[in-house]
Amino acid sequence: MTLQLILLIGFCGAIITYFAGKILPVLREIFAVAISLLLVGMIVYAYGRYSQEIAQFGFLNFKIVFTLNRLSWLFAIIISSLSALSIIFSLSYMKGKERQDFFYMMMLFVSTSMLGIVFSGTFLQLFIFWEIMSWSTFLLISYSKGKAVKAGLKYITMSIIGSMAMLVAVISLYLKFGTLEISVISQNIDIASLRYLSCIFGLLFLGFGVKAAVVPLHTWLPDAHSEAPSPFSAILSGILIKMGIYGFILMMYMVVGIKIFMTLGVGWMKFHYVFAWLGVISILIPSFIAILQNDAKRLLAWSSVGQIGYIIVGISMGTGLGFLGGTFHIFSHAVFKGLLFLTIASVEYRTRTRDLDQLGGLIKKMPITFLGGLIGVMGLIGIPLTNGFISKWLIYKSLFESNRMFLLLFSLIGTWAAILYGYKILHNVFLGQLPEKYRNMKREPVFMQIPIIILSLTVILSGIFPGIILKLINNIAFSFGLESLNVNMWGVVSETGTLNIRNIFFGILAAIALVSIIFYSAKRSWKVSQDDNYAAGAFVPVEKYNYTVEFYAPLYKMIRKYLKDVIDIFYCWIAGLVDALCNGIRKIYTGDIGTYVGYILFFLAFLIIIYLRG
C-alpha cells in the first residue's frame, strides 16, 4: 500500500461518486460512505509503517515526495475519521436537497486534499494540495447560493491573498536552497540568516494564519460557518482550520527547528512571544463575542477561533509540555467541536431553525442529541474525564512552568467565557419546557445518531485514557528535539505535578454515587402543568419559559456601539479602496480606438518634451 494509492482512491472515488449519483442516488451514497471508510481503514493500517516515497516529475525536473511520519499520521487519521462520520451524518441531513452529487464529491475532494497536504514531502506539493482544498472549500461554503456565495467569496478572497504570500515564500525557498524538498531544506537551514527566516515566517504566517482563522485573519470564519452545509461545518471547524496549525508546526518544529525559531525576532518582538500573544487574543475576544450570538452555528464559529488560540499558545511555548498540550488540543477540538456542529445540525434538521431564542426542551424529543451536546460542551469547557480537560490542563501547566502568568490568566478567562456560552447552548436548546410546535416532533434519524454516539464516546474515552494519544504526541515531540515526558495510560508524570486521570475518575464515581443516594432517598417530585412555573415571583408567559432569551440584552445595549469587528471593517475599507481604484482604471479602457490614439500621442509628446529639456 502506498500513499499515492490513498490519494488516488480519494480523488478518483470523489469523481466516481458524482457520476454514480447520476445513475442512481443510492449508489452515490454507497460509494461516498465506502470510499470514506476505506480511507480510514488504509490510514489505520499505515500506522507504524512510516516511509518516504519519491517519484520524478518531468515538469522543471521537480521531485514528487510523499512522506508518512507520526505527525502526518495523526493528522491523517483525524481528517479521514471526521470526514467519514460527517458523510454518514449527511445521508439523512442532505436527503431531499439539490445537487447532492456535487456535495458528496466536494466533501471527498476536501478530505483527500487535506490528506495530500499532510503527506506532502515538498513545498510544491503542499501548495498544490492547499489550493485544491481552498477552492473545494469555497464551492462547499457557497453550496446554498444567495448569502452563501457572499460568504464564500469573502473566504476565497482572503485565501488567495494568503496563498500568494505562500507562493512567494515557496519561490524564495527554491531560489535559496535549490530544492523544495522539506527534508533537504531542514538539513541545510543553517545557511539561511535569521533575517531571511523571519521574512519567510512572515509570509507563511499570512498563508497559514488565514486558514487557521487566527486573529486578525479570522473574519471569514463566522460567515462561512453560518452559510455552509452543517455536516461540512463539522469538517471546516473540526479539522480544515487545523491545516494552518499543521503548517505552523511544520515550519517551527520540522523545517527551521524549535531552537532557531525561539531566537527569531528581537526582545519582546520575538516570534514566539508575538505568536503566543496572538493566541491569547484569539482566545479572549472571540470567546466573549460568542456569548452574545443567538445563531448556534455562528456561536460555535466564534468559539472555534477561541479554541485555536489555545493550540497556538501551546505550540508557541517551545517546550515538550506545551507541544503536548497544544497538539492534544488539535485532536480534542476536532472531536468535541465536530460533535457540537453535528448536534446543532441534528437540531436544525428537525426544527428548521438555529435561533437559540426559538428552542428549548428538546431533551425530551432528542435524548441522543442532548447527550452529544452535553458531552461536547463538557469537552469544550475542559471538565475532567473529557479530552478537553487533558489538553487544557497541559497547556495551563506549560504556561505556569514557563512563568507566563499573564498568558495563563487570560487563557483561564477564556475558559470562563466558554462556560457561559456552553451553558447557553445547552439551556436554550435542550432544557426548560418544550414549545408546543415541537410537541409531535420525531427523533433524529439513525444515520445522525451513529456519528454523534461515536464522537461522544471518543471525547470520554480519550479523556479517561489519554495516554493512547499522548504517547504518540510525546514521540513526535521527541523527534523534534524536545524533552521526552513520562507518559502513561492515565496521564503525565512530572516533578511539578502529576496528571492522573485514574484518581480523578474514581473520585468522580464516588461523588456520583453519593449524590445518587441523596437524590433517590428524597421525596419524589410530581408533574405540574407546563405553564405552572414562576420566574422572579411571576408567572412565566406561555411558550416563554426560556428566560435566558435576550438575557444579555441590557449588557448588549450598553456595549453595542463599541462591539464592532474593527478588523473586518478595516478589511472592507481596503476592499472599497481597491474597488474604487479598479473602477477608475477601468474608465481608461473606453473601447474607442480614437481614445487610445490620443493616449499614444500624449505619451509621445511627453517623451519629446523630456528630450528637448535635455
* pLDDT, mean of residues 29-39: 92
Instruction: Please state, in angstroms and rounded to a whole number, the distance separating the CA atoms of residues 555 and 368.
Output: 34
* pLDDT, mean of residues 521-537: 64
A 10 A CB-CB count for 140 gives: 26
The per-residue pLDDT for 539 is 58
How does pLDDT run across 307-361, given as a tens digit for each residue? 998 999 988 888 888 888 899 999 999 999 999 999 999 998 888 888 888 888 8
Q: Which residues neighbour 65 within 8 Å (Cβ) at sequence distance 6 or greater?
A: 52, 53, 54, 55, 120, 121, 122, 125, 181, 182, 183
CA 252 to centroid of chain Cα atoms: 19
Burial annotation 70-83 (CB, 10 A radius, 16+ → b, else e): bbbbbbbbbbbbbb
pLDDT band at residue 575 under the 50/70/90 scheme:
confident
The per-residue pLDDT for 375 is 93
- Is the pLDDT at 80 greater than 70? The verdict is yes
Q: Which of 153-157, 395-399, 488-492 has the lowest mean pLDDT?
A: 488-492
Is the Cβ–Cβ distance between 390 and 332 less than 8 Å? yes
pTM score, two decimals?
Answer: 0.86
pLDDT band at residue 188 under the 50/70/90 scheme:
confident
How does pLDDT run across 206-263, given as a tens digit for each residue? 889 888 888 888 888 888 888 888 889 899 888 899 999 999 899 888 888 888 877 7
* Residue 64: strand pairing partners: 55
Percent of the chain beyond pLDDT 70?
89
- Evaluated on CA atoms 162, 220, 286, 380, the torsion sign reads negative
* pLDDT, mean of residues 426-454: 85
How does pLDDT run across 399-412, given as a tens digit for each residue? 888 888 888 888 88
pLDDT band at residue 75 under the 50/70/90 scheme:
very high
